[in-house]
Structure 1
Amino acid sequence: MPLLADPNFHKTVTCICEHDGSGALGIVINRQDIALTARDIFAELGIEPTGEAGSVSIHIGGPVHMNEIFVLHGPPFSWDGCHSITATLAMSNTIDILKAIARGKGPEHFILSLGCAGWGPGQLENELKENTWLTSPIYDEALFKWAPEERWEKVLYKNGINPMGISNMAGNA
């Protein structure tokens, strides 16, 4: 449920990037690390950013693999290790896309995220059965047009849900 007690997921919007028999991987898209910018990440990787590339905000993608950077992005999808999510969205986490972003030659729309959310085999399915999560289609505007602090509420409204009507109690009627 959007009102999870776990501080890693309280009022989060999570884009599920991979989901198969071995588990699931997602990126939280509405939490930013206000102390970090892309310049910090690029410096760690020995990449010199040009123009505005260094000032891009960094998202907290989840509590797993906190030392890895993940890029949710629109086209082009020609990067090494690019994993297609939808026809208009992919995830990459290789150096070629990071270098391109640093030079201003990367995708037009992207989110840089440290860490991800992960679920073991069957774990996400069980959480969905227990009504732990609300599900939604992926909206490109939620990823790339709406401000991170607006995403949770706007995704709910886009799905016909008034956030004021959400209960802390889950169940099945």
Structure 2
Amino acid sequence: MEPLSLTDHFLIAMPNMADPLFARSLVYLCEHGDHGAMGLIVNKPSGIAMAQLFDQIDLPLEIDPLRGESVFFGGPVQPDRGFVLHAPAGQWQSSLVVKDDMALTTSKDVLIAVSEGRGPARMLLALGYAGWSAGQLEQEISDNSWLTVKADPAILFDLPAESRYDAAMALLGFDPSLLSGDVGHA
């Protein structure tokens, strides 16, 4: 029997999540397997606009709609490193294909393409990522820290950041106020 993979799923922080880094977080899992898991928090803007980030890496960003777009706090691991979640997957130097039409890229070539107006049609730029060692995420799920649901790209790319958590919660099909923070209780 093949182990369950939560790649291309959302992790939704339980309403009672106490960790301030992850409270009300929506994480998009880019990779999950025996070795652990990694994903991006996709609903917490960092306070940095894309224009600022591109200025810091000496790339002009002249595309007006993108200049004011937020760079996200992707997680506490490697917060000085950029991660571009994008669709379509394309052909970039350092990409992890999450699924057929979506990838996570860490190489600068995708940012150069964005600055030149030939980047991916849909994208989310984050600094840092969220990571779990082997078995850690499974333990956190069994401890009732996270809910999981198959990801919807429309939530990632079409909704404002402040609407993503509630929209992902709605995918579960029940009222989250009915959830208990205690494992084994309704």
The runs of 5 or more residues in structure 1 that have no matched partner are none
2:59 is aligned to 47
Q: What is the CA RMSD across the aligned residues, in angstroms?
A: 1.5
1:124 is aligned to 137
Relative to the length of structure 2, the TM-score reads 0.86
Mapped contact 1:2–1:9 kept (Cα < 8 A): no
2:39 is aligned to 26
The runs of 5 or more residues in structure 2 that have no matched partner are 1-12
The 1-side partners of 2:159 and 2:182 are apart by 28
Mapped contact 1:54–1:102 kept (Cα < 8 A): no
Relative to the length of structure 1, the TM-score reads 0.92
Residue 142 of structure 1 and its aligned partner are, at CA, apart by 0.7
1:38 is aligned to 50
Alignment of 1:89-128 (within 5 A): 89-128=102-141
Residue 52 of structure 2 aligns with an amino acid whose one-letter code is: D
The 2-side partners of 1:137 and 1:30 are apart by 16
2:168 is aligned to 155
Residue 93 of structure 1 and its aligned partner are, at CA, apart by 1.1
The 2-side partners of 1:50 and 1:76 are apart by 23
The 2-side partners of 1:97 and 1:140 are apart by 19
Per-residue deviation, residues 129-167 of structure 1 (Å, max 9, x unmatched): 222110010101110111110111111112202232233
User: Quick one: which of 19, 22, 27 aligns to 1:14?
Assistant: 27
1:59 is aligned to 72
Residue 172 of structure 1 aligns with an amino acid whose one-letter code is: G
2:6 is aligned to none
Residue 95 of structure 1 aligns with an amino acid whose one-letter code is: K
Percent same amino acid at aligned positions? 30
Residue 162 of structure 2 aligns with an amino acid whose one-letter code is: E
Residue 172 of structure 1 and its aligned partner are, at CA, apart by 2.6
Q: Which one has a larger percent strand, Structure 1 or Structure 2?
A: 2
Mapped contact 1:64–1:117 kept (Cα < 8 A): yes
2:18 is aligned to 5
1:70 is aligned to 83
Would you say how many aligned residue pairs link Structure 1 and Structure 2? 171
Mapped contact 2:85–2:125 kept (Cα < 8 A): yes
Per-residue deviation, residues 67-95 of structure 1 (Å, max 9, x unmatched): 01111111142111121112222111110
Per-residue deviation, residues 47-72 of structure 1 (Å, max 9, x unmatched): 11122233221111111110011111
